[in-house]
Chain A
Amino acid sequence: DTEVTQTPKHLVMGMTNKKSLKCEQHMGHRAMYWYKQKAKKPPELMFVYSYEKLSINESVPSRFSPECPNSSLLNLHLHALQPEDSALYLCASSRSDATNEKLFFGSGTQLSVL
C-alpha cells in the first residue's frame, strides 16, 4: 500500500462552522505534512508532524489546528475560517527526515469557505 488517503475530497463550509480534514497512510511513515495550495500557486507548507509530535508550524493562524492521534492518521481541524482560506489542502507523508526520502501526497481536499 503506497497511498495517502484524504477525506473528504470536497468540503463547503460557512465561516462559523467547525469541520475536520482527515489523512491516513499505512506505509509506516513517521512524518506527516499539511500543505495549502491556492489556485495556480505552488503548495505551501503548513505543518509537519514527526513521530506524532508537531515539528514545524509555519506561522499558521490558530483557526487551523492539526492533530496526529497516531502514526497513521493526521487531522486538520478547521474553525472560524475566512473565504480566503478556500484552497486545496494536501496531506503528505515521508518515511523519516533522513536524506533521500520522498514525499508521498494524497489527492487533496478542495475546501470552499462561504
Chain B
Amino acid sequence: DAKTTQPPSMDCAEGRAANLPCNHSTISGNEYVYWYRQIHSQGPQYIIHGLKNNETNEMASLIITEDRKSSTLILPHATLRDTAVYYCIVRGTGTYKYIFGTGTRLKVLA
C-alpha cells in the first residue's frame, strides 16, 4: 500500500490561497489520490480526488505532478471555516483500503 507524507501543520491568512502538499513517492500507476478534511473530530469530509490530471471542483483544486509522486491541494480563498485537519489518501484500484496519511493541521488566521 502506498503511503503518504504531509507536513504536520500550516497557517494561512484568511482570503489567501492555502496550498497543502502531499508526498506519495511509492504510488503505483492505478492508485488514486484522495483528499479529505476533518473538523473538530467530526467524520472526515470528502474534498476532491484524482489519478493523473489536475482536478477542480467547487471546494478546491488538486494538482498532481507529472511523475505522480506528489500532489498539492489548493483552497483558493481560505476562510476561517477551512480550519481543519487535511488528509491525503492513496487508494489502489479494486481495493477497499483507503489508508490515511498523518494529516496537515491547517489554521486559517483572521
Bound complex: CA of A55 vs CA of B32, how far in Å? Answer: 20
Binds B, one of A41-49, A62-70, A75-83: A41-49
Give the distance to chain B from A2, nearest Cβ to Cβ, in Å.
10
Judged by DSSP, the binding face of A is strand
Task: Give the total of B residues in contact with A, Cβ under 8 Å.
Answer: 24
Contact flags (1/0) for B81-96 with A, using CB distance below 8 Å? 0000001000001111
Q: Which residues of chain A from 7 to 52 have a CB within 8 Å of any chain B CB? A: 31, 33, 37, 42-45, 48, 50
Q: Take A42-B87, A42-B102, A42-B103 as given contacts and tell me if A105 and B44 are in contact as well, using a CB distance cutoff of 8 Å.
A: yes
| A contact residues, total (Cβ < 8 Å) | 28
List residues of chain A with CB within 8 A of the CB of B43.
4, 90, 92, 105-108
Interface check A110, CB cutoff 8 A: yes
Chain B residue numbers with a CB within 8 Å of A98 are: 94
How many residue pairs between the two chains, A and B, have CB atoms under 8 Å in the bound complex? Answer: 58
Asked if B96 and A108 make an inter-chain contact with CB atoms under 8 angstroms apart, the answer reads no
CA distance A92 to B30 in the complex (A): 23
Interchain CB contact under 8 A, B49 and A48: no
Q: Is A103 a contact partner of B94 (Cβ separation < 8 A)?
A: no
Are the C-beta atoms of A42 and B42 separated by less than 8 Å? no
B16 sits at the interface (CB 8 A): no
Question: How would residues 16 to 39 of chain B score, 1 for a CB under 8 Å from any chain A CB and 0 otherwise?
Answer: 000000000000001010101000
Residues of chain B whose beta carbon lies under 8 Å from any beta carbon of chain A? 30, 32, 34, 36, 41-46, 49, 51, 87, 93-103
What are 20 contact pairs spanning A and B, CB under 8 A?
Answer: A4-B43, A31-B96, A33-B98, A37-B41, A42-B101, A45-B99, A56-B97, A92-B43, A97-B94, A99-B30, A99-B51, A99-B93, A99-B94, A102-B34, A102-B46, A104-B46, A105-B43, A105-B45, A106-B43, A108-B41
